[in-house]
A and B are shown apart, each in its own frame.
Chain A
Amino acid sequence: AQSVTQPDIHITVSEGASLELRCNYSYGATPYLFWYVQSPGQGLQLLLKYFSGDTLVQGIKGFEAEFKRSQSSFNLRKPSVHWSDAAEYFCAVAPTGTASKLTFGTGTRLQVTL
């Protein structure tokens, strides 16, 4: 069965600083990979996804992620964080061909200081 690990439960960065959120997955083949963001009291919003092809994926709100097969990682990055980016971020995987059945990581809560 696939699994996702987000080793950082909580991260604090200063506004304007760069950000990297870590995600490692376990799966026999290359899964579909996703990053979602959840603001308090809200549902989840898709930031970006990887299915195949270029391993550097661009998403919304200035986020990008890089798929590294050798490290089974799909880390999320942003060059300059804004205070409005404070939220919880979830990495998720799905078996190829069943993109509805997502397995989520435990999430990383991002705090942004001014």
Chain B
Amino acid sequence: NAGVTQTPKFQVLKTGQSMTLQCAQDMNHNSMYWYRQDPGMGLRLIYYSASEGTTDKGEVPNGYNVSRLNKREFSLRLESAAPSQTSVYFCASSAGGNQPQHFGDGTRLSIL
């Protein structure tokens, strides 16, 4: 059972470079999420997609864009990476409403 799959698992970028983090889920979930997790800061929501065709900003959206490609896939793009975006990024999915979220394994991103 794959659940939520994130690629890549690790990435090192230089300041100013761009990249896209990929996320796919096979649980037929309506809602998908992108978080970042930094030491002492907990999980912070970047963007979410309540359903296919919709996206909304979370707590820390600046410097990021997202695309809900279809029901399965939700990508996160850094257009011009900054050192402050060094973090661990988690994608999650949920059936929606009051249901729990299920997380992928994460992407460890370092920006030099």
Q: Are A and B part of the same complex?
A: no
Residues of A bordering B, CB below 8 Å: none
